[in-house]
Amino acid sequence: EADIYQTPRYLVIGTGKKITLECSQTMGHDKMYWYQQDPGMELHLIHYSYGVNSTEKGDLSSESTVSRIRTEHFPLTLESARPSHTSQYLCASSPKNLNEQFFGPGTRLTVL
Amino acid sequence: QQQVKQSPQSLIVQKGGISIINCAYENTAFDYFPWYQQFPGKGPALLIAIRPDVSEKKEGRFTISFNKSAKQFSLHIMDSQPGDSATYFCAASIQGGSEKLVFGKGTKLTVNP
């Protein structure tokens, strides 16, 4: 069982609100990722990080931002949420020299 | 340009049957091919993975078949059970370093009792 945590698990908010989705892992993994996924659909990589102070945009353009100040923590922020941001957000991590990714349980975001 | 093409999009199998999901890749540098299983409301979890130096890998009822010349790999689920009902994703990458996993679009498997 991978030790990667996401909070909150479910979030319903109004348009225009600023939100931060939390992701933490206790495995000491260097690499971390954020994916956006509509339920049961394909995974879209939106951000990734290969270590502290390293962040890159993924394949899918996203209005969200991320930070990596500590190895274990990789929060994702939406400055002004919109209904188009309604989706599931999955966080994952992997060790430095391997590509096996361990996924968190996800945050289901609904923007009204 | 999608580098990993997965089919079918959905699959319905009777209990006890064999489920087969196929993936094709384009980048011949890929050397790591995992399959992930995702249940509703959960994150994907690694099911089984293969390297191109073997043509088949089996773990319990799950088998990966790999055809390097055809650039294809497939997941076979023997004696499929209702508990196997989930979405399955194939993926590919170049092992190690900074390469990311490239995922297929997923296959929703339903195993009827």
Number of inter-chain CB pairs under 8 A, A vs B: 56
Chain A interface includes B32 (CB < 8 A): yes
Token look-up 């580098």 returns B3
- State residue A32's pLDDT score: 96
Q: How far apart are CA A74 and CA B3, in angstroms?
A: 27
Banded pLDDT at A20 (limits 50, 70, 90): very high
**Which positions in chain A have a beta carbon within 8 angstroms of at least one beta carbon in chain B?**
2, 33, 39-43, 45, 48, 50, 90, 92, 97-106, 108
| Cβ neighbour number for residue A108 with a 10 Å cutoff | 16
Averaged over A51-62, what is the pLDDT?
89
Contact (CB, 8 A) for B48 and B34: yes
Per DSSP, the three-state class of A40 is: coil
What are A63-77's pLDDT values in tens digits? 899 999 999 999 999
- State residue A25's pLDDT score: 97
Residue type, A20: T
Q: How far apart are CA A43 and CA A39, in angstroms?
A: 10
Contact (CB, 8 A) for A56 and A46: no
What end-to-end distance do the CA atoms of chain B give, in Å?
Answer: 38
Does the structure show a pLDDT above 90 at B106?
yes
- State residue A94's pLDDT score: 92
Closest-CA residue of A relative to B36 is A101
Q: How far apart are CA A109 and CA B19, in angstroms?
A: 32
- State residue B91's pLDDT score: 95
- State residue A55's pLDDT score: 95
Averaged over B96-110, what is the pLDDT?
86
Token look-up 């009822």 returns B61
Averaged over B21-36, what is the pLDDT?
94
- State residue A44's pLDDT score: 92
